[in-house]
Protein backbone atom coordinates (compact mmCIF):
# COMPACT_ATOMS: atom_id res chain seq x y z
CA UNK A 1 0.00 0.00 0.00
CA UNK A 2 1.38 3.46 -0.89
CA UNK A 3 2.41 5.69 2.06
CA UNK A 4 -0.25 8.23 1.18
CA UNK A 5 -3.01 5.59 1.25
CA UNK A 6 -1.78 4.28 4.61
CA UNK A 7 -1.79 7.82 6.05
CA UNK A 8 -5.27 8.53 4.71
CA UNK A 9 -6.62 5.31 6.23
CA UNK A 10 -4.92 6.04 9.57
CA UNK A 11 -6.51 9.50 9.85
CA UNK A 12 -9.88 8.27 8.57
CA UNK A 13 -9.75 5.93 11.60
CA UNK A 14 -8.46 8.29 14.30
CA UNK A 15 -9.89 11.69 13.28
CA UNK A 16 -12.31 11.95 16.21
CA UNK A 17 -9.76 11.00 18.89
CA UNK A 18 -7.10 13.24 17.37
CA UNK A 19 -9.55 16.14 17.35
CA UNK A 20 -10.38 15.69 21.06
CA UNK A 21 -6.66 15.53 21.96
CA UNK A 22 -5.99 18.85 20.19
CA UNK A 23 -8.95 20.50 21.91
CA UNK A 24 -7.91 19.31 25.37
CA UNK A 25 -4.41 20.63 24.71
CA UNK A 26 -5.75 24.01 23.51
CA UNK A 27 -3.71 23.96 20.26
CA UNK A 28 -6.13 26.38 18.60
CA UNK A 29 -5.61 28.98 21.32
CA UNK A 30 -1.80 28.66 21.09
CA UNK A 31 -1.84 29.27 17.35
CA UNK A 32 -4.30 32.18 17.56
CA UNK A 33 -2.26 33.85 20.30
CA UNK A 34 0.92 33.52 18.25
CA UNK A 35 -0.69 34.86 15.05
CA UNK A 36 -2.25 37.77 16.92
CA UNK A 37 1.19 38.70 18.31
CA UNK A 38 2.52 39.25 14.76
CA UNK A 39 2.10 42.07 12.32
CA UNK A 40 1.58 39.83 9.31
CA UNK A 41 0.82 42.64 6.89
CA UNK A 42 -1.11 40.37 4.50
CA UNK A 43 -3.04 43.13 2.79
CA UNK A 44 -6.84 43.34 2.64
CA UNK A 45 -8.90 40.15 2.55
CA UNK A 46 -6.14 37.57 2.31
CA UNK A 47 -6.56 34.10 0.84
CA UNK A 48 -5.29 31.42 3.20
CA UNK A 49 -4.49 27.70 3.00
CA UNK A 50 -4.14 25.21 5.86
CA UNK A 51 -2.11 22.39 4.26
CA UNK A 52 -2.76 19.02 5.94
CA UNK A 53 -5.50 20.64 8.02
CA UNK A 54 -6.78 17.45 9.63
CA UNK A 55 -9.94 18.27 11.58
CA UNK A 56 -9.43 22.00 11.10
CA UNK A 57 -8.38 23.02 14.62
CA UNK A 58 -5.53 25.18 13.31
CA UNK A 59 -7.71 26.51 10.48
CA UNK A 60 -10.02 27.79 13.20
CA UNK A 61 -6.97 29.16 15.01
CA UNK A 62 -6.17 31.15 11.86
CA UNK A 63 -9.77 32.25 11.41
CA UNK A 64 -9.81 33.54 15.02
CA UNK A 65 -6.68 35.66 14.59
CA UNK A 66 -8.44 38.74 13.17
CA UNK A 67 -6.88 38.47 9.70
CA UNK A 68 -10.09 39.58 7.97
CA UNK A 69 -9.75 36.75 5.52
CA UNK A 70 -11.46 36.56 2.12
CA UNK A 71 -11.49 32.75 2.13
CA UNK A 72 -9.53 30.01 3.84
CA UNK A 73 -9.07 26.50 2.48
CA UNK A 74 -8.61 23.47 4.75
CA UNK A 75 -6.93 20.77 2.63
CA UNK A 76 -6.25 17.19 3.71
CA UNK A 77 -6.12 13.71 2.22
CA UNK A 78 -8.33 12.23 4.96
CA UNK A 79 -12.02 12.34 4.11
CA UNK A 80 -13.08 11.62 7.71
CA UNK A 81 -10.87 14.41 9.11
CA UNK A 82 -12.47 16.85 6.68
CA UNK A 83 -15.95 15.66 7.66
CA UNK A 84 -15.15 16.48 11.30
CA UNK A 85 -13.63 19.80 10.16
CA UNK A 86 -16.72 20.77 8.17
CA UNK A 87 -18.98 20.07 11.16
CA UNK A 88 -16.74 22.16 13.43
CA UNK A 89 -16.70 25.08 10.99
CA UNK A 90 -20.52 25.00 10.88
CA UNK A 91 -20.82 24.95 14.67
CA UNK A 92 -18.19 27.61 15.42
CA UNK A 93 -19.44 31.04 16.42
CA UNK A 94 -16.65 33.20 14.92
CA UNK A 95 -17.86 34.87 11.68
CA UNK A 96 -14.76 33.87 9.66
CA UNK A 97 -15.53 30.16 10.19
CA UNK A 98 -18.20 30.54 7.49
CA UNK A 99 -15.47 31.55 5.03
CA UNK A 100 -13.57 28.25 5.23
CA UNK A 101 -13.79 25.79 2.34
CA UNK A 102 -12.82 22.15 2.64
CA UNK A 103 -10.83 20.39 -0.10
CA UNK A 104 -9.65 16.79 -0.20
CA UNK A 105 -6.22 16.71 -1.83
CA UNK A 106 -2.54 15.88 -1.60
CA UNK A 107 -0.07 18.44 -0.32
CA UNK A 108 2.48 17.18 -2.87
CA UNK A 109 0.22 18.38 -5.70
CA UNK A 110 -2.22 21.07 -4.59
CA UNK A 111 -5.17 21.61 -6.93
CA UNK A 112 -4.38 25.34 -7.02
CA UNK A 113 -2.62 27.64 -9.47
CA UNK A 114 0.82 29.08 -8.72
CA UNK A 115 0.97 32.34 -6.70
CA UNK A 116 -2.57 31.98 -5.29
CA UNK A 117 -2.33 32.34 -1.51
CA UNK A 118 -1.28 35.17 0.80
CA UNK A 119 -0.58 32.79 3.67
CA UNK A 120 -0.12 29.04 4.06
CA UNK A 121 -0.09 27.34 7.45
CA UNK A 122 1.01 23.76 7.95
CA UNK A 123 1.13 22.01 11.31
CA UNK A 124 2.41 18.48 11.85
CA UNK A 125 1.82 17.45 8.23
CA UNK A 126 5.14 18.04 6.47
CA UNK A 127 6.41 15.05 8.45
CA UNK A 128 4.51 12.76 6.06
CA UNK A 129 6.21 13.95 2.88
CA UNK A 130 9.76 14.56 1.64
CA UNK A 131 10.81 17.92 3.05
CA UNK A 132 12.06 19.43 -0.22
CA UNK A 133 8.98 18.41 -2.21
CA UNK A 134 6.54 19.60 0.47
CA UNK A 135 8.18 23.00 0.90
CA UNK A 136 8.54 23.50 -2.87
CA UNK A 137 4.82 22.84 -3.38
CA UNK A 138 3.86 25.31 -0.64
CA UNK A 139 6.20 27.89 -2.19
CA UNK A 140 4.56 27.31 -5.59
CA UNK A 141 1.05 28.23 -4.44
CA UNK A 142 2.15 31.21 -2.32
CA UNK A 143 2.36 34.67 -3.83
CA UNK A 144 5.85 36.24 -3.81
CA UNK A 145 6.20 37.87 -0.38
CA UNK A 146 3.45 35.54 0.94
CA UNK A 147 3.89 34.01 4.40
CA UNK A 148 4.33 30.40 5.45
CA UNK A 149 3.52 29.60 9.08
CA UNK A 150 5.43 26.35 9.46
CA UNK A 151 4.73 24.33 12.61
CA UNK A 152 6.90 21.21 12.47
CA UNK A 153 7.12 18.47 15.07
CA UNK A 154 10.37 19.06 16.91
CA UNK A 155 12.79 16.20 17.50
CA UNK A 156 12.23 15.40 21.21
CA UNK A 157 11.04 12.59 23.48
CA UNK A 158 7.42 13.59 22.84
CA UNK A 159 8.22 13.83 19.12
CA UNK A 160 9.53 10.25 19.17
CA UNK A 161 6.35 8.99 20.85
CA UNK A 162 4.25 10.83 18.25
CA UNK A 163 6.34 9.31 15.43
CA UNK A 164 5.30 5.85 16.64
CA UNK A 165 1.64 6.74 17.27
CA UNK A 166 1.06 8.73 14.10
CA UNK A 167 3.53 6.92 11.84
CA UNK A 168 5.50 9.90 10.52
CA UNK A 169 9.13 10.99 10.47
CA UNK A 170 10.26 14.16 12.19
CA UNK A 171 12.58 16.34 10.11
CA UNK A 172 15.77 17.70 11.71
CA UNK A 173 15.44 21.42 12.53
CA UNK A 174 18.66 22.25 10.64
CA UNK A 175 17.33 20.45 7.55
CA UNK A 176 14.03 22.35 7.78
CA UNK A 177 15.91 25.67 7.88
CA UNK A 178 18.35 24.72 5.10
CA UNK A 179 15.68 23.50 2.69
CA UNK A 180 13.30 26.36 3.54
CA UNK A 181 15.97 28.89 2.55
CA UNK A 182 15.74 27.70 -1.09
CA UNK A 183 12.35 29.41 -1.38
CA UNK A 184 11.86 31.53 1.73
CA UNK A 185 13.44 34.05 4.06
CA UNK A 186 13.09 33.07 7.71
CA UNK A 187 11.47 36.07 9.39
CA UNK A 188 10.42 34.48 12.70
CA UNK A 189 11.54 31.57 14.83
CA UNK A 190 9.26 31.13 17.81
CA UNK A 191 9.18 28.60 20.62
CA UNK A 192 5.84 28.21 22.36
CA UNK A 193 5.86 28.94 26.11
CA UNK A 194 6.45 25.76 28.14
CA UNK A 195 3.04 26.05 29.85
CA UNK A 196 1.34 25.54 26.47
CA UNK A 197 1.08 21.81 25.59
CA UNK A 198 1.88 22.71 21.98
CA UNK A 199 5.44 23.50 23.13
CA UNK A 200 5.97 19.85 24.09
CA UNK A 201 5.95 18.71 20.47
CA UNK A 202 6.03 21.74 18.17
CA UNK A 203 7.93 24.88 17.31
CA UNK A 204 6.98 27.51 14.81
CA UNK A 205 8.75 29.29 11.96
CA UNK A 206 7.46 32.28 10.08
CA UNK A 207 8.76 32.28 6.52
CA UNK A 208 8.33 34.74 3.66
CA UNK A 209 8.43 33.57 0.04
CA UNK A 210 11.34 35.11 -1.84
CA UNK A 211 10.66 37.37 -4.79
CA UNK A 212 12.14 36.00 -8.06
C1 LIG B 1 -0.73 15.19 12.78
S2 LIG B 1 -2.09 15.57 11.72
C3 LIG B 1 -2.13 17.32 11.86
C4 LIG B 1 -3.46 17.89 11.47
C5 LIG B 1 -3.59 19.40 11.65
N6 LIG B 1 -2.63 20.14 10.87
C7 LIG B 1 -3.48 19.78 13.10
O8 LIG B 1 -2.47 20.35 13.51
O9 LIG B 1 -4.44 19.51 13.82
C10 LIG B 1 -1.40 15.32 10.09
C11 LIG B 1 -2.40 15.52 8.96
O12 LIG B 1 -1.69 15.54 7.73
C13 LIG B 1 -2.51 14.90 6.76
N14 LIG B 1 -1.66 14.47 5.65
C15 LIG B 1 -0.63 13.58 5.67
N16 LIG B 1 -0.08 13.47 4.45
C17 LIG B 1 -0.77 14.30 3.63
C18 LIG B 1 -0.67 14.62 2.25
N19 LIG B 1 0.25 14.06 1.46
N20 LIG B 1 -1.52 15.52 1.75
C21 LIG B 1 -2.49 16.11 2.52
N22 LIG B 1 -2.64 15.83 3.84
C23 LIG B 1 -1.78 14.95 4.39
C24 LIG B 1 -3.14 13.75 7.52
O25 LIG B 1 -4.28 13.22 6.86
C26 LIG B 1 -3.45 14.42 8.85
O27 LIG B 1 -4.74 14.98 8.87
Does the beta carbon of 124 lie inside 6 Å of ligand 1?
A: yes
How many residues would you count in the chain? 212
Does the beta carbon of 163 lie inside 6 Å of ligand 1?
A: no
57 belongs to a structural domain: yes
Residue 126 is part of a domain; what is its CATH number? 3.40.50.150
Report the residue among 3, 52, 100, 192 best suited for mutation to probe ligand 1: largest number of ligand atoms under 8 A from its CB: 52
CA of 42 from ligand 1 middle (Å) equals: 25
78 belongs to a structural domain: yes
Does the beta carbon of 128 lie inside 6 Å of ligand 1?
A: yes
Mean pLDDT, range 45-51, rounded to an integer: 97
CA of 56 from ligand 1 middle (Å) equals: 10
Q: How sure is the predictor about 2, in pLDDT bands with cuts at 50, 70 and 90?
A: confident
Q: Return the ligand 1 atom nearest residue 134 CA.
A: 19
Per-residue pLDDT reduced to its tens digit, 76-106: 999 999 999 999 999 999 989 999 999 999 9
37 belongs to a structural domain: no
The pLDDT of residue 1 is above 70 = no
DSSP codes, the chain:
--HHHHHHHHHHHHHHHHHHHHHHTTHHHHHHHHHHTS-----SS-EEEEET-TTSHHHHHHHTS----SEEEEEES-HHHHHHHHHHHHH--SGGGGGEEEEE--TTS-SS-TT-EEEEEEES-GGGS-HHHHHHHHHHHEEEEEEEEEEPBPSSHHHHHHHHHHT--PPPHHHHHHHHTTTEEEEEEE---TTSTHHHHB-EEEEEEPP-
83 belongs to a structural domain: yes
139 belongs to a structural domain: yes
Looking at the structure of the chain, the number of domains it has is 1
59 belongs to a structural domain: yes
Residue among 65, 93, 66, 62 nearest 75 (CA)? 62
Mean pLDDT, range 7-34, rounded to an integer: 94
Domain, as residue range, for 77: 3-32+45-209
Per-residue pLDDT reduced to its tens digit, 112-138: 999 999 999 999 999 999 999 999 999
40 belongs to a structural domain: no
Report the residue among 25, 59, 77, 136 best suited for mutation to probe ligand 1: largest number of ligand atoms under 8 A from its CB: 77
Q: Are 58 and 31 in contact (CB under 8 A)?
A: yes
Amino acid sequence: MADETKTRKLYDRIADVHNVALKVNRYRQSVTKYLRSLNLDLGPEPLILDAGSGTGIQTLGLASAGLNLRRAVALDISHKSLKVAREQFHRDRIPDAARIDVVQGDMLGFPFAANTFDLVLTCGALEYVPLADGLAEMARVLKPGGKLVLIPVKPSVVGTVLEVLYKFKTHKVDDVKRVALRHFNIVGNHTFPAIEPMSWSKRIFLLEKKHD
